[in-house]
Structure formats: structure tokens, C-alpha cells
Amino acid sequence: MEEKQQSEVSDTRKKHDPVEGKKKNIMKDILGTIAYVAVICLVVFLVLQYVGQRTVVNGHSMDPTLAHGENLIMDKISYHFSDPKRFDIVIFPGPEEEGEQYFIKRVIGLPGETVQIIDGKVYINGEELTDDVYGITDYIEEPGIAEEPLTLGEDEYFCLGDNRPVSYDSRYEAVGTVHRSEIIGKVWIRIWPLSEFGPVD
């Protein structure tokens, strides 16, 4: 009888062993943390794969809006539902001579419009584009192919860098107009440096 009682006491202690319970709780916490991190990693992967993508500014063609070396997140999904708008900052592959390099430029001319640079100013359909406040200078010295009226075809865009004196953009034949299908996405957020973190206009 005594042996039976001792056995029951021993079983009860095993069932209510605080050390064993603590181990189980720790294990549960660890597994929960691993699952949480795995979900976060999956979400980040899906966002970067299908919604956004990190890119780095190379060069000074977008000064002062975007500086060399800044890290950006590109929005890759918006243009599946809407067309690029004037003054959007878009990303597209550069000409073959530039190798595997993406260009970051601002949309100036839209499909069907006629673009021309006269006396250093951009004209759209014969009227000066007065709300173009993004250029680093008010005067464009090199009009390039836009010296003569340039009518954009269906799904074609005319893009310029904000730093017009040094930007290699749609004014040059090697770059030319940008077809809608070439636009990968638009600049969304600056993530580095942290002091400049936030949406980009």
C-alpha cells in the first residue's frame, strides 16, 4: 500500500514538475520566434520579388533629388494598374553600351505629345512646360534629338535627369524615348541614408 502511495506521489511530481514545464515553455517560445522570423522573411521576399525592389543610385544625373550611392525601393506593381505620369521618377534599362545598368530618370513627355527644347526650355505641344521645377538649372544647353519637334508614339515616354547638364537621357539617340514595356517601375522610397529616409517625389 505504501509503495503504491509513493508511486502515485512520484507520478504527481512528474506531472507537475516546474522545471519540465519551464523547458516546454522555452521550447514553445523558441519555435514561435522561429515561425515569426520565417513569416517575416517570406513577406520581405515576396515584397522585394513582386512589389518592390532595392536599387542604388549610380552617378549624379538625378542631383539634387537623388544623390549618388543612395539606396531606393522601386515600386514594381503600380504600373500594372496605371500608366506613368508626368514627373514620375522611373527606372528602365540603359542602352547596351552601358552594360547591365538601370537608368533612373524623370518622365517629362507622355505618349502622343510633341516634345521640343527651344532656347533651353522644354515645350510640350508647343507650350512651355512651366511646372517643371525639378531641373537643377532653368536652362538646358544640350537639346539633343529634341532640338527638332519630337512626337512620341503610343506607349513612348521622354525622360530627363534632374541634373540636366550631365544627364545621359532621352535627348541622346543611344537612349532615346523609353517604351512603356521597358519601364520596370518607379522610385518609391529612399531607405539609405537613414537621415533621408522617406518617399521620393
Domain ranges within the chain, ordered by starting residue? 2-50, 57-199
pLDDT at 135: 86
Q: Nine-digit cell at 52?
A: 518592390
pLDDT at 9: 47
The residue from 4, 10, 61, 167 that is catalytic is 61
What string of pLDDT tens digits covers the 201 residues of the chain?
A: 545 555 554 555 555 566 666 777 787 778 778 877 776 666 555 555 556 688 999 999 999 999 999 999 999 999 999 999 999 999 999 987 666 789 999 999 999 999 999 999 999 999 999 988 888 887 899 999 999 999 999 999 999 999 999 999 999 999 999 999 999 999 999 999 999 999 998
Q: Do 138 and 167 form a contact (C-beta atoms < 8 A)?
A: no
C-alpha distance from residue 30 to each of 21, 24, 33, 35, 37 (Å): 14, 10, 5, 9, 11
The residue from 7, 15, 23, 105 that is catalytic is 105
pLDDT at 190: 95
Question: Residue 61 catalytic?
Answer: yes
* Helix (H) or strand (E) segment spanning residue 156: strand 156-160
Q: Do 169 and 178 form a contact (C-beta atoms < 8 A)?
A: no
pLDDT at 46: 56
pLDDT at 47: 57
pLDDT at 34: 83
> In the CATH hierarchy, which fold is given to the domain comprising 57-199?
Umud Fragment, subunit A (2.10.109)
Question: Residue 186 catalytic?
Answer: no
What one-character-per-residue DSSP string does 39-58 give? HHHHHHHHIIIIIEEEEE--
